[in-house]
Amino acid sequence: MPLDSLLIEILADPTDKGSLLWFEDESILYNPRRHVVFTVNDGIPVLLPDEGREVDDAEHERLMALVDSAVETGSTSA
């Protein structure tokens, strides 16, 4: 399910406030700096710090290999 373009512009990691990578095919937002994945349910990102799931190195490598298909969020954050 696509994410609203206005959401993509503003969303940030709840802990470091930096940008996230939106992987639409997998319906996840990923922070490559902290190796944390946030789910998106029915178009609504769940951005609570303790709902983020830390991934291992292998998963990080897999996602970074797909980075060209991802959209970076937070281009207009305050």
Partner 1 sequence: MADPSQVFKAYDIRGTYPDQIDEELCRAIGAAVATFCGTSTLLMARDMRPSGVTLTKAFAQGANAAGVDVIDLGMASTDFLYFAAGSLDAPGAMFTASHNPAQYNGIKLCLAGAKPIGRDTGLTEIEELTRGFLAEPATGGTGGLTSREMLPEFADHVRSFVDTSVLRPLKVICDTANGMGGLVAPLIFEGLPFDVEILYPELDGTFPNHPADPIQAENLVDLQAAVLAAGADVGLAFDGDADRVFLIDEKAEPVSGSLTTALVASAILDKNPGGTVLYNLICSRTVPEVIAEKGGIGVRTKVGHSFIKQIMAETGAVFGGEHSGHYYYRDNYRADSGIITAMIVLELMSVSNQPLSVMLEPFQRYVASGEINTEVPDPAGAVEAVAEHVIAAGGTVDRLDGLTVDCGDWWYNLRPSNTEPLLRLNVEAPDAAACKAHVDEVLELVASLS
Q: Which is nearer to partner 1, 41 or 65 (CB)?
A: 41
Alpha carbons 31 and 16: distance in angstroms, whole number: 9
- Closest contact distance (angstroms) between CB of 45 and partner 1 is 5
- Closest contact distance (angstroms) between CB of 44 and partner 1 is 5
Q: Which is nearer to partner 1, 46 or 64 (CB)?
A: 46
What phi and psi values does residue 21 have, to the nearest 5 degrees? -105, 125
Q: Which helix (H) or strand (E) holds 44?
A: strand 44-45
Enumerate long-range contacts of 24-28, CB under 8 Å, 24 or more apart: 24/71, 25/69, 27/1
Q: Which is nearer to partner 1, 16 or 61 (CB)?
A: 16
Kindly list the residues in this chain that would bind partner 1 in the complex (CB under 8 A).
4, 6-7, 9-12, 14, 17, 43-50, 77-78
